[in-house]
Structure 1
Amino acid sequence: MGLKKQGLVVGATALLTVAVALAGAELHPSKSWAGFRQSPKELVDEVWQVIDREYVDATFNGQDWRAVRREFLSKTYTTPDQAYTAAREMLEKLNDPYTRFMDPEQFRSMQIETSGELTGVGITITQDEKTKDITVVSPVEGSPAAEAGILAKDIILKIDNKPTKGMDLNEAVGMIRGQVNTKVTLTIKRGNETFDRVLTRARIEIHPVKASIRQTPNGPIGYIRLVQFSSNAAGEMRNAIREQEKQGVTGFILDLRSNPGGLLFSSAEIARMFLPQGTIVSTVNRQGEADRLRAGRGFLTDKPLVVLIDGGSASASEILAGALQDNKRAVLVGTKSFGKGLVQSVQPVGEGSGMAVTIAKYYTPSGRDINKKGIEPDVEVKITEAQRESLTREDIATPKDPQYAKALSILNQEIVAQQKQAQKPAPASSTP
């Protein structure tokens, strides 16, 4: 399929603070920018053309796409806002929350965020394909949303007392975003409980990798938390592994909990650090052409590895976890992952606008399609609501954290088994 390194993203739909899913995306100049000044209809047609060329499903999810073009181009558009509304309505017919239109303000905000100037409340949201609920994928660690206790799978019922039922995802994003030090109230549904959270928007500094050395009876182990697959995640991960190897770690815990995803190639590069060989992921486009990303370069460690996942581990996190699980390189601990197996490209359209388009499906090395299904951990460890409420931020990734505690126990078993294997004498050889 010819994957372009910077053009593919596998993050969740929309990020309110950080455009993780769009970070580093390749921006292709649009030919119709100048013409759009004379005819807003050109934007509508350009959006249609992009879908017609690139959308992953050649049936357009059962839509007569040529009839859609006739419908929308038969109308008159005299202002940009009318064209933006038409573009969104047209894309909604695909019933794909990951394919979306961004007006100039939203697209500019995304570009600013990918440059590192990040402000907002710090949650990743998506729109459930069946219920249309605005749903939290995960909060960004250390963000106002995380501090307020927003969790993966929370449903946002209202934004500043405005119901989200029937609300477009872009509208929800626009309402939650805002200036630093301003407030937004989210009405949350969690199970049978409904409550309000008042969040103060902030400027958030995000480093994708947080690493530390933990002492155990079997020697030091490396704990690495990866919070997003941004353009600099692989570099930070490489430095963390090398530094921990220098300090003689005997194994690693890789924490992907609440990681909403990001760049496809960032995920692949990190997988290569743990995999000496084998397939990492395969993608299939609308023509059925498959492209495989493989390991074989950049390998850094063969030490025992345990990976933590949960319902907030999405897309690029699932690619990495699936690659390590299918290649039997790591033990996965936690709960089932989010379940997003689609790849998007991001590109400008019209005069300063942009769109994200689903262009491919991805599969784990064993051929699993995890979209809407998620990845099951090898060892399931659920955290009850009572346990979650009792855990403080300082308790995460400590023995008080049940998932981390189990991961550490399994890692120690793996370390002991590897050490025993290394101590076995080599088989005697003889020459006939």
Structure 2
Amino acid sequence: MRKLPLLLCGVALGATAALVVTQPRIFLGGANAAVTDTYKQLNLFGDVFERVRADYVEQPDDGKLVEAAVNGMLASLDPHSSYMDGKSFQDMQVQTRGEFGGLGIEVTMEDNVLKVVTPIDDTPAAKAGILSGDLIIALDGDQIQGLTLQQAVEKMRGPVNSPITLKIKRAGKDDPFDVKIVRDVIRIKSVRSKVEGDDVGYIRITQFTEQTFDGLKASIEKLNKDIPANKFKGYVIDLRNNPGGLLDQAIAVSNAFLDRGEIVSTRGRNPDDIQRFSARPGGDLSAGKPVIVLVNGGSASASEIVAGALQDHKRATILGTRSFGKGSVQTIIPLNGNGALRLTTARYYTPSGRSIQAKGIEPEIEVKQNVPDDLKGKDETKGEAGLKGHLESQDKKEEGGSSAYVPADEKDDTQLKAALDLLRGAQKSAFFPPDQKTAVPN
């Protein structure tokens, strides 16, 4: 994905240069008129900026004024274009890398203190004896109270091999106690897998980071060792509530179940701004075993690329509820060491040529969860079509969101149960296994 923005920019610049050379009179005249109008608008901005600086009731911060103006300009485009200051850009890079210097604990904020959700296996926190349910009330002697969750997380992250002392309050112990932990490299585990029963490989992908394909490959290899070949019924790939991530990782994950054919194409504003990404022959790691992909209203972007590719090639059956419908590509453009621009530069299309922007992926088999009464009406996502200022569907036919609820207890998960029943033959459907004769041509 990091190479993609450079390639897209190169294509766009090349196209513009060719037009200027071949049609100088038409293009240069129009360009001069447009430039004149643009400078008038910029002069308007300059006039307003100077008037605010001179006459506002209090002395404004010039940097904040400019940043607010930039944010306003980008917000007028679509919900996914934005400016990131240096700190936000750094945080985004940490998230997509999938690794950082830290302790290895998942936390939430509860009653103005940090509550440990779970320590991650084989990390400094787990080795130091941090337990689920522990309350962190201070970091290096500074109280947590008054900090936001993000601020507290930032304090726990830091250079590898640097120490930090946590003051822990634990149920069953009268007094808080200190735990000194030395930071190490923490890798966000975006792929988790297990054997369902003794015959189905379950793989959950939570996001698409730089580590995702490697995690998927390791999971498939382990499942092949743990499940006897004569018992192995197939895979459940769980993409529910996966918000997306890196395009190259979505392509690699798709290729793990395909050995030929287009996976996705991206198309920008100009006719020549088209890129096609195809499966690498020999890339299929699944040995042709049946696949069911779970999606819901929280499955977006890169998740929809994977689901759409496997659906169009009839490699998998999609089960669950309609996905989010984010069918656009954002390019990250660094700005001279001063943050970065996240700009929507293209729509993506599934192998059959579908744009799912503001529509989503429709599952062949719709299965809804039994939503608790207290969550009914709160479990629905707006979907891309429900976002203010979203990029419109090209045919103007749009679909809203769907439920994003997944029960905490697996025994209540009707979508997973339906997938397992189909793979084991306990339930039948005309859509499983998918009809290869109706697949898009490879």
**TM bracket (short chain):** 0.5 to 0.7
Q: 2:236 aligns with which of 245, 253, 265?
A: 253
C-alpha distance after superposition, 1:219-261 (max 9, x if no partner): x111000001100100110111122223433310000001000
Alignment pair present for 1:85 and 2:68: yes
Residues 107, 352 of structure 1: 8 Å contact kept: no
**AA aligned opposite 1:359:** T
C-alpha distance after superposition, 1:185-206 (max 9, x if no partner): xxxxxxxxxxxxxxxxxx9973
C-alpha distance after superposition, 1:27-61 (max 9, x if no partner): x9xxxxxxxxxxxxxxxxxxxx9xx99xxxxxxxx
Residue 179 of structure 1 aligns to a residue whose secondary structure is helix
In 1, distance between residues paired with 2:44 and 2:427? 63
In 1, distance between residues paired with 2:187 and 2:274? 37
1:269 is matched with which residue? 252
1:6 is matched with which residue? 2
In 1, distance between residues paired with 2:301 and 2:235? 22
Evaluate the alpha carbon distance shift between residue 374 and residue 175 of structure 1 in structure 2; reply closer, same or farther with a 3 A threshold: farther
C-alpha distance after superposition, 1:301-358 (max 9, x if no partner): 2100001000010000000000000110101110000000000111221542211011
2:191 is matched with which residue? 209
In 2, distance between residues paired with 1:277 and 1:379? 25
In 2, distance between residues paired with 1:100 and 1:142? 32
Alignment pair present for 1:300 and 2:273: no
- Aligned-pair Cα RMSD in Å: 4.1
Evaluate the alpha carbon distance shift between residue 83 and residue 252 of structure 1 in structure 2; reply closer, same or farther with a 3 A threshold: same
Q: 1:240 aligns with which of 212, 219, 226?
A: 219
Q: Which runs of 5+ in 1 are unaligned?
A: 10-24, 29-48, 54-63, 123-140, 148-173, 183-202, 422-432
Q: 1:104 aligns with which of 71, 86, 89?
A: 86
Q: Cα distance, 1:68 vs. partner?
A: 5.1
1:356 is matched with which residue? 342
* Residues 310-349 of structure 1: pairs in structure 2 closer than 5 A: 310-349=296-335
C-alpha distance after superposition, 1:370-389 (max 9, x if no partner): 11111111110111322896
Residues 96, 246 of structure 2: 8 Å contact kept: no
1:193 is matched with which residue? none
Residue 425 of structure 2 aligns to a residue whose secondary structure is helix
1:177 is matched with which residue? 150
In 1, distance between residues paired with 2:38 and 2:264? 30
**AA aligned opposite 1:340:** K
C-alpha distance after superposition, 1:248-275 (max 9, x if no partner): 3331000000100000110000111101
Alignment pair present for 1:224 and 2:203: yes
Residues 286, 360 of structure 1: 8 Å contact kept: yes
**AA aligned opposite 1:370:** I
Q: Cα distance, 1:299 vs. partner?
A: 1.4
In 1, distance between residues paired with 2:223 and 2:373? 31
Evaluate the alpha carbon distance shift between residue 334 and residue 69 of structure 1 in structure 2; reply closer, same or farther with a 3 A threshold: farther
In 1, distance between residues paired with 2:154 and 2:83? 28
Q: Cα distance, 1:415 vs. partner?
A: 11
C-alpha distance after superposition, 1:40-95 (max 9, x if no partner): xxxxxxxxx9xx99xxxxxxxxxx9776545435544873222211211222232x
1:395 is matched with which residue? 409
Q: 1:372 aligns with which of 358, 372, 389?
A: 358
Q: How many residues align?
A: 295
Evaluate the alpha carbon distance shift between residue 67 and residue 408 of structure 1 in structure 2; reply closer, same or farther with a 3 A threshold: farther
In 2, distance between residues paired with 1:98 and 1:120? 27
Q: 2:421 aligns with which of 409, 416, 429?
A: 409
**AA aligned opposite 2:422:** I
Q: Cα distance, 1:395 vs. partner?
A: 1.8
Q: Cα distance, 1:177 vs. partner?
A: 3.2
Percent of aligned positions with the same letter in both sequences? 37
Structure with the greater relative contact order (CA < 8 A, sep ≥ 6): 1 or 2? 1
Structure 1's consecutive aligned runs of 4 or more residues displaced over 6 angstroms after TM superposition are 64-67, 118-122, 387-393, 414-417
Q: 2:45 aligns with which of 69, 72, 75?
A: 72
